[in-house]
């Protein structure tokens, strides 16, 4: 069993490295958004695309077991979205992304947002070739999620503490949630966000802009 798992992850890592090289050559900045179901990923993406307002070419890969609902919400913003339905699968893998990339007509230097299947377990192990994993933890969940699912918070470079507009109605200990996340990953950057109130969206966009600039510089060097 362990050997099968190693083989699967080894193949995935090789494919992810190809994706990363493909993206790097084109100066495309790719983010892999991971979370539990219902953390507000799609709403946050919609708000992000609206705030970008076409300033940067952006496209989305939507991973869900079934339905095209999320891709349709993204397309309503005017951004192209490709839906991958994983069926019984509970995560995106690098091969799915490799097959999607050439079909998306991505502009050089664009932003690629990959919304993974809502699942805090195996997406942590499957590199897609992204520049960063972004973990979204909403305040409607438990503060202890980073300790319960440490692999995901260790693999992420940024955590969006989402739905903060709901804090007045909840007993969610923000400081404790952040402390738990930093215990698992001391270099994790944390941004408080809300797709409803817009809190944190400017800070999140500034983080994206810095990543885009690095991706563009790295493509010029390649
Ligand atoms: Mg979604
Ligand atoms: Zn899975």
User: Does residue 155 lie in a domain region?
Assistant: no
Q: What pLDDT, on a 0 to 100 scale, did the predictor assign at position 44?
A: 98
- For residue 44, report the distance from its CA to the centre of ligand 2, in Å: 23
CATH of the domain at 91: 3.40.50.300
Residue 70 scores a pLDDT above 70 = yes
User: Does residue 147 lie in a domain region?
Assistant: no
Residue 4 scores a pLDDT above 70 = yes
pLDDT in tens, 5-41: 889 999 999 999 999 999 999 999 999 999 999 999 9
Q: What pLDDT, on a 0 to 100 scale, did the predictor assign at position 222?
A: 73
User: Does residue 105 lie in a domain region?
Assistant: yes
CB 46 within 8 A of CB 193: no
Q: H-helix or E-strand containing 175?
A: helix 174-184
Tokens of residue 125, six digits: 């192990």
Q: Give me the residue label for tokens 């202890």.
A: 144
Total of domains in the chain: 1
Backbone φ, ψ for residue 134 (5° rounding): -115, 115
Ligand number nearest CA of 114 is: 1
User: Does residue 174 lie in a domain region?
Assistant: no
User: Does residue 95 lie in a domain region?
Assistant: yes
- For residue 105, report the distance from its CA to the centre of ligand 2, in Å: 28
Q: What is the chain's mean pLDDT, rounded?
A: 96
DSSP string over 35-49: E-TTSSHHHHHHHHH
Over residues 133-143, mean pLDDT: 98
CA 126 to chain CA centroid, nearest Å: 12
Collapse the DSSP code of 80 into the 3-class scheme (helix H, G, I; strand E, B; otherwise coil) and give the result.
coil
User: Does residue 168 lie in a domain region?
Assistant: no
User: Does residue 71 lie in a domain region?
Assistant: yes
Give the list of residues 6+ apart from residue 221 with CB closer than 8 angstroms, or none.
none
**Residue ranges with CB less than 5 Å from ion ligand 1:** 41-42, 70
Over residues 176-197, mean pLDDT: 98
Give me the sign of the Cα torsion angle 14, 17, 31, 83: negative
Residues 181 and 203: their CA atoms lie apart, in Å, by 19
- For residue 218, report the distance from its CA to the centre of ligand 1, in Å: 30
Q: What pLDDT, on a 0 to 100 scale, did the predictor assign at position 6?
A: 87
CB 137 within 8 A of CB 41: no
- For residue 222, report the distance from its CA to the centre of ligand 2, in Å: 33
Q: What pLDDT, on a 0 to 100 scale, did the predictor assign at position 2?
A: 76
> Per-residue confidence at 3, pLDDT binned at 50, 70, 90?
confident
Ligand number nearest CA of 42 is: 1
User: Does residue 113 lie in a domain region?
Assistant: yes
Q: What pLDDT, on a 0 to 100 scale, did the predictor assign at position 110?
A: 98
The domain of 123 spans 2-135+196-216
Residue 1 scores a pLDDT above 70 = no
Ligand number nearest CA of 87 is: 2
């Amino acid at each position: 069993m362990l050997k099968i798992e190693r083989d699967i992850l080894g193949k995935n890592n090789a494919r992810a490295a190809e994706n990363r090289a493909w993206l790097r050559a084109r100066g495309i900045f790719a983010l892999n958004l991971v979370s539990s179901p219902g953390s507000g990923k799609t709403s946050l993406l919609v708000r992000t695309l609206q705030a970008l307002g076409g300033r940067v070419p952006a496209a989305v890969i939507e991973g869900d077991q079934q339905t095209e609902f999320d891709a349709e919400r993204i397309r309503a913003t005017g951004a192209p979205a490709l839906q991958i339905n994983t069926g019984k699968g509970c995560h995106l893998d690098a091969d799915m992304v490799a097959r999607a990339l050439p079909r998306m007509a991505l502009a050089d230097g664009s932003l690629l947002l990959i919304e993974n299947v809502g699942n805090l377990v195996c997406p942590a192990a499957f590199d897609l070739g992204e520049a960063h994993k972004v973990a979204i933890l909403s305040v409607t969940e438990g503060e202890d999620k980073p300790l319960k699912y440490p692999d995901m918070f260790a693999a992420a470079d940024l955590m969006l503490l989402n739905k903060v507009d709901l804090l007045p109605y909840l007993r969610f200990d923000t400081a404790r949630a952040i402390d738990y996340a930093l215990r698992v990953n001391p270099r994790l950057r944390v941004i408080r966000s809300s797709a409803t109130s817009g809190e944190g969206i400017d800070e999140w966009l500034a983080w994206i802009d810095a990543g885009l600039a690095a991706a563009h510089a790295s493509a010029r060097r390649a």
